[in-house]
Amino acid sequence: MKTAILVLSDPASGTEESLGRVFNALAVALEYKQAGVPVQLLFAGAGTRWPAALNKRDHPANALYKQVVDVVAGVSCGCADVFGADDQGLARITTNAVPGTTGLPSLLGLQRDQWNVLTF
């Protein structure tokens, strides 16, 4: 039961909903990790802005992020380019060669490799 968690919410929106989405994505990643279930976290779309925000010590989800940063697969390369995101040194994922971009994560590829995909 491998699970990939895709974070799309935008921290720049400053809404409680956006924070709630990333917080729940991180909490689910931690739950799977602690259970020994294969899990990976990916940031795409405006969600590529999250790593820079989550790395700030005063961010309310910083401690939780630090618990799961080892399961972060990376950020969508093309999305990070479009949204001007600081990837914080995470891998830039390019497995889906979308024309006109530097590449995005391949959700089809994940599913073909038997990963369940959850989106937040």
Q: What is the pLDDT of residues 52-76, one digit of tens each?
A: 999 999 999 999 999 999 999 999 9
Q: How far apart are CA 113 and CA 13, in angstroms?
A: 33
What is the pLDDT, as a whole number, of residue 110? 98
Q: pLDDT grade, residue 89 (50/70/90)?
A: very high
Q: What is the pLDDT of residues 8-36, one digit of tens each?
A: 999 999 999 999 999 999 999 999 999 99
Question: Domain limits at 51?
Answer: 2-119
**What's the predicted TM-score (pTM) here?**
0.96
Report the CATH number that the domain containing residue 103 is assigned in CATH: 3.40.1260
What's the number of domains the chain is made of?
A: 1
What is the pLDDT, as a whole number, of residue 109? 98
Q: Is 8 exposed, middle or buried (0-12, 13-18, 19+ CB in 10 A)?
A: buried
Q: What is the DSSP string of 1-21?
A: -EEEEEE---GGG--HHHHHH
